[in-house]
Amino acid sequence: MSKTISVVNYGTGNVKSVVAAMIKLGFNVNYTDDPNLILSSDAIVLPGVGAFKYGMENLHKKGLVDTVKYFAQTKRKVLGICLGMQLLVDEGHEFGIHKGLGFFDGQVISLKNFASSADKLSLPHVGWNSIDTSEKGSHLFDANNGSRSLYYFLHSYALKTSSKQDVLAYTEYSNISFPSIIQKENIIGMQFHPEKSGEIGLNLLKKVLLE
């Protein structure tokens, strides 16, 4: 019997591949903004491309903030991808300071602000890059699914946090390093696009959602 996944529709576009990946992996998939449907799922995915401010505004407008928070409390899996990962955090600093969902400590800031030497960084960070898994993250990877494999990134902002225990993997871009996978209990975030990272990405999605 396959799990039901709700991909949360909060109007951030470009979600087709996320939905297609879920279908490909054999899940029953809803792409929905209906709180009842979301709350009755086995797991939810928060996708997203775009700015933190608009992401949170849209979630609020659709009345989904409480739904997502409640769902997380029930200990069922919540996966945030790209902007979706960023919204899981305390605060975002894109176009002003905005409150996020608050599951993780830290702020989402421009990659240029990660270090004083980073101001010349070419943005967005776009293309294939590798991830460096800490021991905490090793459960996500196995012989078939390399932890040093390449994933597809497309973003200009990332999480700056001092809570190292939440970080499962880091990625280096030029002279800076940022979290590429974060996890706290049932809530997990990926800064890259697993649904655009080939079979390796699909394998990771499968592992995470079936855990």
Q: Are 46 and 88 in contact (CB under 8 A)?
A: yes
What are the structure tokens assigned to 61, written together? 């407008």
Catalytic annotation, pick one of 91, 94, 193, 211: 193
User: How many CA within 13 A on the CB side of residue 200?
Assistant: 18
**Shortest distance, position 108 Cβ to another protein, whole Å:** 16
- Looking at 152, 177, 186, 207, which residue binds another protein (CB under 8 A)? 152
CA distances from 160 to 23, 92, 101 (A): 33, 10, 15
Q: Is there binding between residue 92 and another protein (CB under 8 A)?
A: no
195 is catalytic: yes
Q: Are 52 and 86 in contact (CB under 8 A)?
A: yes
In whole angstroms, what is the distance from residue 18 CA to residue 201 CA? 11
Q: Is there binding between residue 26 and another protein (CB under 8 A)?
A: no
155 is catalytic: no
The residue count for binding another protein (CB under 8 A) is: 26
Q: Is there binding between residue 23 and another protein (CB under 8 A)?
A: yes
Q: Using the minimum distance from each CB to another protein, give the nearer residue, 92 or 106.
A: 92
Identity of residue 116 = S
Catalytic annotation, pick one of 82, 94, 98, 125: 82
Q: Is there binding between residue 21 and another protein (CB under 8 A)?
A: yes
In whole angstroms, what is the distance from residue 130 CA to residue 148 CA? 6
Residues contributing to the site for another protein (CB under 8 A): 13-14, 16-17, 20-21, 23-24, 49-50, 122, 124, 126-129, 150, 152, 154, 195-199, 201-202
